Amino acid sequence: MGADPTLQNERSKCMTENTRNQDILTIINPRRLSIIVFSLFFSWLLALPFEGRILYALTDYYNISAKSFVFGTMAAHFAGLLACGFFVKNMRTAKKLMLFSIGFCLAASGVFFSPPSFLWTAALFLAAFLVGCCVAAWGFYFKGCTPKNERIKTMADGLIFSNLLMIILNMTAIHISPYIGLGFSMLMLAAAFLFALWLPKEEVVEPSSSEQGEIYVSKISPLAFLYLFIVIITINSGLMYQVQGPAFAHLEWLTSWYWAVPYIAALLIMRNLSRKTNRAYILYVAIAMIGFSFIAFLVLGRSWVDYLVVNTLMLGACGVYDLFWWSILGEMLELHKNPARIMGIGLSANILGVLLGGLIGNAITVAGEQSQNPTLLALGVVCVTLVLLPSLHKRLTTLLKDHIYLTAITEIPIQEQDRLLVEFNIMEKLTQREGEIAALLIKGKTYRMIAGELHVSENTVKTHVKNIYSKVGVQSRTELMHLLLDIYIPFAESETP
């Protein structure tokens, strides 16, 4: 009997799609592709539903208040972040949800070309919920397309590019037309949809052997503590939106573009810091910057110079802390088989803090209280975070000790890594090919990268890795790094005069 023509057509379509996706992935590697998709849809989120200047420009055009929209969309976004991890279980489902969410947000944005009506509220709230799901679902690509020790750079790049695009959208909406800004934001979503079509359906980074199906009870405490810390410190962000921002509304020409500049600068600095830099001290500096920002807001005037001081301190600190907890969440993705759940729960803390701070700031503004009240509240929040930070650092260090070791191994000079591998090969009698693969493993290379450099198949690499682990007596890349550290640290201490 001949083959079913329908089945042949389906197979042909699948092969064509796989070939096309593979061609794209050879041009844009999966890590960069995931950053592009994130940057495009996240810029829309920042420019429209999440305290976006496009939304404010549209409501100002029709002389209506944006407050009800702002708080409602934050609540919907919060719900979307929390909900996603409970019905998205794998990367294939994550991709489908992201495509659906981006497509719906694109259609929902079109509603705002019509006059205000109930459709505005429905479209905005549903879009905010779905984009929350989209951000959480992206956690699969954050984990599956970026090696563990590179996630801080991936996150920094995503936040930098999305904020640059947001600045362009804001300036267009404010200085040209809110509808042109809205149209440009829809183009961002359309581009995000097209690039998302090429996202892989399976992880391209080696899964961690320490990955767990559920989070152990002993690990809940650091997660809960991190959640509490994020909620508390981001209350100041909500106060900034509702208290500091409106106070400088008359400087529209400056606020439309400079608002995110210190934030981007802080991300660039943190991204490119040496691994030897103690970031804990920078976190304390950032907390102090938040406090000085509100003190400056209280004692200074409302000129453009005063705005530069207040905004630079506040947004610079926000850049430091946003990258801090985004990257920590990136490390925590190894603790659970469902990255969307970890991402969603972790980022919902950020939204909850901003929402609470915004509601408090709005209540103070409506009540007509004196300007020092939000400043005193902000300083109180700063004091609480200063108390919490040492304990948080201790808990995270215990939970993410693998990350500390990965940092330590990269600090070993290249010459020392080579020397250790030579000794390592002699001791454990690795073959030359196994030694080459071991060297690439400790440098954070994925199986695909190693296969490309050595011109072999991924299955061949996996077989060699199994042999290396078997000969050495380890079960994962992390344990391999630990073994090298056990060799290096005593040697380094013995060489110290």
Half-sphere exposure for 438 (CA within 13 Å, toward CB) = 30
Residues of the chain above pLDDT 90, percent:
34
CA distance 405 to 207: 18
CA dihedral of 295, 298, 301, 307, whole degrees rounded to 10: 50
CA distance 318 to 118: 34
CA distance 473 to 470: 5
List, for residues 331-370, the tens digit of each pLDDT value: 888 777 889 998 999 899 989 988 888 888 777 766 665 5
CATH 1.10.10.10 residue ranges for the chain = 412-495
CA distance 135 to 73: 15
**Position 249 pLDDT exceeds 50:** yes
Q: How confident is the model at residue 216 (pLDDT cuts 50, 70, 90)?
A: very low
DSSP strand E in 337-456: where? none
Cβ burial 282-296 (10 Å sphere, 16+ → b, else e): bbeebbebbbbbbbb
Q: Which CATH superfamily is domain 30-201 in?
A: MFS general substrate transporter like domains (1.20.1250.20)
DSSP 387-415: HHHHHHHHHHHHHTHHHHHHHHHHHS-HH
Tracing tokens 């930070």 back to the chain, one arrives at 389
CATH 1.20.1250.20 residue ranges for the chain = 30-201
List, for residues 184-202, the tens digit of each pLDDT value: 999 999 999 999 999 988 8
pTM strictly above 0.95: no
Taking every pair of C-alpha atoms in the chain, what is the biggest distance, in angstroms? 87
List, for residues 381-428, the tens digit of each pLDDT value: 778 877 777 777 666 766 665 443 334 444 455 555 555 555 555 455
- Residue 277 has a pLDDT of 64
Correct CATH for 218-391 of 1.10.3470, 1.10.150, 2.40.128, 1.20.1250:
1.20.1250
For 79-94, what is the mean pLDDT? 92
Q: Domain 412-495 adopts which CATH fold?
A: Arc Repressor Mutant, subunit A (1.10.10)
Would the CA dihedral through 47, 90, 83, 228 be positive or negative? negative
Residue of higher predicted confidence among 327 and 119 = 119
Closest CA to 289 of 309, 265, 260, 267: 309
List, for residues 327-339, the tens digit of each pLDDT value: 888 888 877 788 9
- Residue 405 has a pLDDT of 33
What is each CA distance from 222 to 382, 393, 435, in whole angstroms? 20, 9, 37
For 446-456, what is the mean pLDDT? 83
